Structure formats: C-alpha cells, structure tokens
Amino acid sequence: MSSTISTEEQQSHERGWIVAAQQGDLDAFNYLVASYEQRIYNLCFRMLGEAEAAADATQDAFINAYKAVGRFRAPQGDLQMVNSFRTWLYRIASNLCYDVLRSRKRRPTTSLDALISDSGEQDYEATGNFSLAHGLASEGPESSALRAELSREIQRGLTLLPEDQRLALILCDIQGFSYDEIAVVTASSLGTVKSRISRARARMRDYLLGRGELLPSTFRHNSDELSALIADCCINDISMAV
Amino acid sequence: MPGTNNNNNQHSDEPLDPRMLEQLNAYLDYELSEEQRTQVRDLLRRSPAADNEMATLKATSKVLSELPPVPAPRSFAVRPAMLEQPAKSGRGFNLFGWMPSPSFALSLGSLAAACLLVLVLTAQLVSGSGNHAQGSVVTASIAPPTPSGQSGTGQAYNNYDNGRTAPSNPPVSAAAAQPTATTAAAVAPAPAMATAPTPTAVAVTSSMVMSATNASSGSSATSGAGAAPSAITPRLGYAPVATPPGTPGTLTNNYYSGATATNPSTSTYAFNAKSGVATAAPSNNQANNPAANGSGISASGPLPNQNTNQTNNYNVLSGSMDYWLVIEIALAILAVALGLGALIAQRRSR
C-alpha cells in the first residue's frame, strides 16, 4: 500500500513539474530530468551501443524536450499526464537515436565490433555496475566472464537488429512498455508493433543460439541446452512451462 | 504428444506461421485477451514445435529483461547555456523547434541553390545584362571602309551589357578598318573562319541585340574599334588582347569592360539568337553579317583597298556560346541533381 501511495505521490509531483515546466520553469523540468535520465540514457545506449553517443543523444533529448514542452498537450489526470509525458519524451529520444544511426550510415568510420567492444565493454567495466558482466559478488571469475561474454553478445545482437525492430524490442523487454505505449512512441499501429516485436525477438533468439560456438565452452551445447543455460545464467526463477 | 513439453529442435525444422509467432509473443507479453490466451494454451499443448518456440522466446525475453540498467555517466540536467548551443547528436540544428534531418537540409539547400541559379540565368537572359564579356569570341572581318568616309571602324559588339547601345571601345580589337588608324587593327581579314557568317552559331544565346557598327573607311576613327585595344578596360582580370598588326586571320579575344567610346554606328542589328536570324538595319549600304556572340569581339582588320560596298562579314566562331552560361546551367543541373539525390536518400533511409 505504501508503494502505491508513493507511486501516486510521485505521479502527482511529476504532474506539477510538467505543468511548471510548460510555464518555463527550468528547475521543475530538471526534476523531470532526474526522474527520467536513467531510463532515457539506457534507451539511447541500447539503441546506439556507445556510451558517448548515448550521453549526447540523452542530453539533446532533454534540451529539445524543454524547448518543446510548452507545446506538449497533456491530458487530464495525473496518471494520464505522466504516461503521456513519458511516451512523448521517449519519442523525442528515439527520434534522436534514429538520427544518430542515420548519420553513422552516411559516415561509417567505426566498425560495429569495434563500437561494441571498445565502448560498451569498457563502459561496463569502468563503471563496475554491469552485473551481467561482473556477475554476482559471490560468483567466481569464470562465471563472471561467462556473463560478461553473454552480455556482449546480447548487445551485439541488439545492434544487428533493424532499427525499428530494435527499438520495439528494447521498449518491450528492457523498458517494460506495453504494446500500446510502444505504438505511441514509435508512431505506428498496434499490428506493426506486434510484428516488429515478434520478428525482433525471434531474430534475437536465433542470434544467441547461433553464436553458441563463439561463447565460452560451457555455452557450446545444442540449442536447447544453450537456451537453458541462458535462462540459468541470467534468470534464477525461469520456468520453461507456459 | 499433447500436454508434453518437448524441447526438441523442432522449431527450426518447422517454422511457425508468422501470425502464430506474433500470437505467441503477444501471449508472452500479456497482450492477449483471455479467450486468445486459452487458444494459445491449446496450441501449445497440441504442438511441440510451438511449445519449444514459446520456451525459447520466453528465455530470450527474460534474458533481455534481466539486463541491468547501465548507469548514466553524468547528470543530464538542462542548464540555460545549453539552450543556446547546437545539438551534439544527430540533428544539425534546431530551427524553432523544427529539426530537419541533415539530408533534408541538404536537399533544401541544393534546391535553393538551383532556384537561385535559375533566377540569375533568367534575369541575365531576359534583361540581356549579362555583360558576359568573358569568353565569347567574335570575329568580324570588316570590310573596307565605305566611301562615305564615315568615321569609326568596323565594330561588332554585343549590346549585351546593360542595354548599352554602343559600348564604346568595343571589346573588339577590332582591327578596325582604319586605314589611318595607328593601331594594330590592320589585320588581314580573317579567312575562312571569319568569313562564315553563321547566325546559327549563336543560336544558343537568347534574345540578344547586337548593334554592329560598320565603319566605313576609317577616317577619324580614333576611337574606333581598331583604335586602341589598350584603351579597353579589362574586367575581371582579363586583359585586352590586341591583334598584332599584320597578322592575317588572327583572332583576338577582347574582354571588354564596357568602356564607352564613340561609335559612329552606321548599322544596327537586332539579333534574335533563338532563331539565329539577324535582322540588319543598316544605315548605309553595307550588307552586314552580324555574328557577335558574347562580348569579346575580334575584328580582323580592314583591307584598306577593298571596295567600299563590299560586304562586311561578322563571324561568330562556332562554339562561341558564352561558356559562363554553360557553367551556370551545369551548376543548376548539378544542384538539382544533388537535391533530388538527397531527397531520395532520405526517403530510402526511412
């Protein structure tokens, strides 16, 4: 109950910040930034696969959002307004990510592998907060290395997905958006969202299964064992029964 | 066998229908109604392939959802100074909240450049104000002076510059027909090249009025074309070139600056470049062949002893189309092509 109240209070606060930001209150907007920056940065990072580009895109997303928040049409009600603001903010960020990816296509200077291995891995290890890379504190070095390898493969698999599918999968599986919310963020229909998620998830699954030989030796099993290993490695309470 | 949960590799052997795959994913994400969920459960009991598909998809989804958040490297609070700075990421600029992509901006810029070039071209061609002194070489073999003894020399020039009717000191090195001229004008008539009056040679240029002065035997043609190439004011860095005296058939490019000179014009030609027909309105008996295109006119000088009724031949060198026009047209085409290419690239990228 307390968490529910806390959530409602948070929504009420956010609503007040949104209204104040619409009137030009930069401090109020920065409260919103503090609430969303972690999530927006993660969206950008998963889309771009590079820490610096993700930070720039995140910053630009908030700057653009502040410039345009006066035109944001908020529905009535705390929950509706907060949800609408969230999807609006994600849409700005995802559009910026698309732009960065387009500019990369025009100026391909860095290979995909280099991007992932150079920036992603170093970022994780530098921050020391990537638990898939570093594993649990009680894990041995071998398990930690396995998880780090798996996390790199996941990010590489995400980067290889088509942009639209990547965004849909990130929003669904990593950010926890519903299909309706994804449709709003991506400005597409519900059927398109379902199709993109389905294809993206199947591709991601096939990628992870197909990269078994590149994974550490304990991952080199048949696909069923690999999927079970993936599940065991990352999910403690996974149940294969539907 | 229904109800069993075989994790065989059947999912790769028997790919499911895409719509069914969507249903499985929607089931996984709790995006189906209860009735639809029941249908999917029935399918999973009946089909080991579907069941295996669901298991692997669920494992993949869980792997992704278990990815820990990457900590933000810094605060992204917006400071007032940031609002004045250009965006660091993809978009190049933010114009009043409208943020065109770079390719769109490029296409806009190219199309704007193309429009500008077309406007400039049109303005030049319509107004005849190009003052395209550079480049065009007109050779006029000027007939000997008329017996009337009119002053002036054979001048052929384009009235192509700001509507001036008689740009004096015609660009012409016009070896004008001044017997008395002390200039280098005394050049033998340009031979073959100069004698072929081909109005079509200038058909490229649009309406252009050429007034040509056929000086008769050069009496007091001190200001005449042949008089002093040195009097020509160079423009745009081009120096006037005088035809050396006594050089038969020498062509001289005169890049005139529009310096004025007195020209006792005796004949004026309205030259319709589109049709390539020159209309002569001579004020004397001379038959004239206007052949001026562009501004540089080279007149191969007078034959002092020729018959005064002899036809004056103004020849335009074929291919003397003003190459600045060509360059501008080429630039316009290039700009349009760039703009269209950028638009196509942008659409494909979407």
Instruction: Round to whole Å and give the CA distance between B219 and B179.
Output: 7
Test A179 with B26 for CB contact under 8 angstroms: yes
B25 touches chain A (CB under 8 A): yes
Task: Indicate yes or no: CB of B58 within 8 angstroms of CB of A240.
Answer: yes
SS3 B39: helix
Nearest residue of chain B to residue A174 (CA atoms): B65
Q: Mean per-residue pLDDT for B6-12?
A: 42
Most confident of A175-179, B3-7, B160-164, B221-225: A175-179
Candidates B129, B59, B339, B19; CA nearest to A208 is B59
pLDDT in tens, B37-72: 999 999 999 999 899 999 999 989 988 998 888 899
Assign B286 a pLDDT band (cuts: 50, 70, 90).
Answer: very low
Mean of per-residue pLDDT scores for chain B: 56
The token duo for A99 is 């732009």
Q: At residue A26, what are phi and psi to the nearest 5 degrees?
A: -70, -35
Surface of B (192-231) touching A: CB under 8 A: none
Q: What is the DSSP string of B242-280?
A: PPPTT-TT-----------------EEEEEETTTTEEEE
Q: Does B22 touch chain A (CB under 8 A)?
A: yes
By three-state DSSP, how is residue B62 classified?
helix
Q: Which of B31, B60, B344 to mutate to test the interface with A (most CBs of A within 10 A)?
A: B60
Query: What's the pLDDT score for residue B335?
Result: 80
**Å between B12 CA and nearest CA of chain A:** 9
Q: What is the pLDDT of residue B15?
A: 67
pLDDT level of residue A144 (50, 70, 90 thresholds)? confident
Largest Cα separation within chain B, whole Å, is: 121
CB atoms A127 and B62 under 8 Å? no
Write the residue in A57, A209, A222 that is nearest to B89 by C-beta. A57
Contacts of B88 in chain A (CB under 8 A): 56, 59-60
3-class SS of residue B140: strand
What would you report as the CA-atom Rg of chain A, rounded to the nearest whole angstrom? 19
Per-residue pLDDT band at B96 (split at 50, 70, 90): very low
A129 or B329: which leads in pLDDT: B329
Q: What integer pLDDT is reported at residue B16 of this predicted model?
A: 76
Nearest by CB: B22 against A195, A204, A235:
A195
Return d(Cα B20, Cα B90) in angstroms, integer: 38
Q: Give the number of beta-carbon pairs within 8 Å between A and B.
A: 196
CB atoms within 10 A of CB B212: 36
| Nearest of B64, B58, B44 to residue B4 by alpha carbon | B44
Residue % of chain A over a pLDDT of 90: 51
Least Cα separation, residue B329 to chain A (angstroms) = 29
Mutation test of the interface with chain A: which of B67, B84, B103, B106, choosing the one with the most A Cβ atoms within 10 A? B67
Pairing of strands B312-316, B288-289: parallel
For residue B321, the tally of other CB atoms under 10 A from its CB is 21
Question: What is the C-alpha to C-alpha distance for residues A82 and A158, in angstroms, rounded to an integer?
Answer: 28
Nearest to A37 among B7, B72, B89 (CB): B72
Mean pLDDT of A31-41: 95
**What number is the average pLDDT over the span B262-269?**
40
Put simply, the answer to whether B90 touches A227 (Cβ < 8 Å) is: no
Q: What is the mean pLDDT of residues B85-103?
A: 54
The pLDDT, as a whole number, for residue A138 is 55
Confidence of residue B99 (pLDDT cuts 50, 70, 90): low
Residue type, B142: I
Average pLDDT in chain A = 78
Q: In the prediction, which pLDDT does A242 show?
A: 34
The set of residues, in sequence order, having a beta carbon less than 8 Å from that of B218 and lying 6+ positions away, is B145, B151, B152, B153, B176, B177, B178, B179, B180, B181, B224, B226, B302
Cα B206 to Cα B225: distance, rounded to the nearest angstrom = 25
If you ran DSSP here, which 8-state letter would residue A116 be given? I
Radius of gyration of chain B (CA): 39
pLDDT at A30 over 60: yes
Overall average pLDDT of the B223-227 stretch: 38
Structure tokens at B297: 């006119």
Q: In what order do the strands lie in the sheet with B288-289?
A: B288-289, B312-316, B138-141, B297-300
Residue B26: alpha-carbon gap to chain centroid: 57
Query: Is B18 in the A-facing interface, judged by CB distances under 8 Å?
Result: yes
Contact of B66 with chain A, judged by CB distance below 8 Å, is answered with yes
CB–CB of A103 and B61 under 8 A?
A: no
Confidence grade of residue B112 (pLDDT, cut at 50, 70, 90): confident
Cα of B38 to nearest chain A Cα, Å: 12
Evaluate if pTM is beyond 0.95.
Answer: no
Q: Between A78 and B36, whose confidence is greater?
A: B36
Closest CA to B323 of B167, B134, B66: B134
Percent of chain B with pLDDT over 90: 13
Q: Over the stretch A80-113, which tens digit does the pLDDT of each residue have?
A: 888 899 999 999 999 999 999 998 887 765 545 4
**What DSSP state is assigned to residue B145?**
P
